[in-house]
């Protein structure tokens, strides 16, 4: 973690608003209050990795020679690994750890960066 790193208020980032709007459109309700751990968990991930939400999404996207938007394999892999690490270092059962990783994955998913974890099966919980 970088000691000099700081975030704006998390809801001021465009990509966070895209995420919240996506959640609301798909699931209805109030994404912030329905799961109060959402924003703090994303914030914790960002601080842990000294990166702001908009930069995460920017690093996961690229433009090809024709000018068409593409997912950056390198960026996606980087954040997939960081999420796995964040999840692995979290406290709790496998499902509880997965929930924290999945909050960050959800942020990427609703910003058009496909990420999916393996499923947690019965004997792994």
Partner 1 sequence: MEFKEVIGRRRSIRFFDPDRPVEREKIQVMLEAARLSSCAVNAHWLKAIVVQRDYLSDEMLEKLKTPVFNIQLDLAPVHIYLFADMSVVNKNEGARLKELVDVNALPPTHGWSHQFVDELVYPQILKPLTENPAYAAVAAADAGLAAGQMLLAGVDEGLGVGLNTPNPEHIHEVLGVPEEWMMIWVLLAGYPAESWDAGGQRPRPPFEEQFFEGEYGVPFERSEKVVDSLKKDKMIQKEAVPDDPERKAEIRALAERFGLPL
**Given the rule CB under 8 A, which residues bind partner 1?**
23, 27-28, 76, 94-95, 98-99, 102-103, 105-106, 109, 114-123
Comparing CB distances to partner 1, the nearer of 9 and 36 is 36
| Cβ–Cβ under 8 Å, residues 62 and 70 | yes
Comparing CB distances to partner 1, the nearer of 12 and 114 is 114
Residues 6+ apart with CB under 8 A from 108: 56, 57, 60, 79, 114, 115
Torsional sign, CA 104, 109, 111, 112:
positive
To partner 1, the closest distance from the beta carbon of 61 in angstroms equals 14
To partner 1, the closest distance from the beta carbon of 103 in angstroms equals 8
The C-alpha angle 82, 44, 73, rounded to 5 degrees, equals 25
Comparing CB distances to partner 1, the nearer of 12 and 117 is 117
To partner 1, the closest distance from the beta carbon of 3 in angstroms equals 31
| Cβ–Cβ under 8 Å, residues 91 and 73 | no
To partner 1, the closest distance from the beta carbon of 41 in angstroms equals 12
DSSP H helical segments within 49-93, as ranges?
53-59, 73-88
Comparing CB distances to partner 1, the nearer of 32 and 114 is 114
């Amino acid at each position: 973690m970088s000691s000099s790193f700081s975030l704006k208020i998390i809801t001021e980032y465009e990509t966070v608003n895209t995420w919240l709007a996506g959640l609301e459109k798909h699931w209805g309700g109030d994404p912030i209050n329905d799961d109060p751990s959402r924003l703090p968990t994303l914030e914790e991930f960002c601080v842990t990795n000294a990166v702001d939400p908009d930069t995460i999404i920017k690093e996961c996207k690229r433009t090809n020679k024709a000018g068409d938007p593409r997912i950056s394999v390198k960026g996606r892999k980087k954040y997939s690994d960081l999420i796995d690490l964040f999840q692995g270092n979290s406290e709790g059962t496998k499902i509880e750890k997965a929930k924290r990783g999945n909050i960050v994955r959800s942020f990427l998913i609703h910003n058009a960066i496909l990420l999916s974890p393996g499923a947690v099966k019965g004997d792994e919980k």
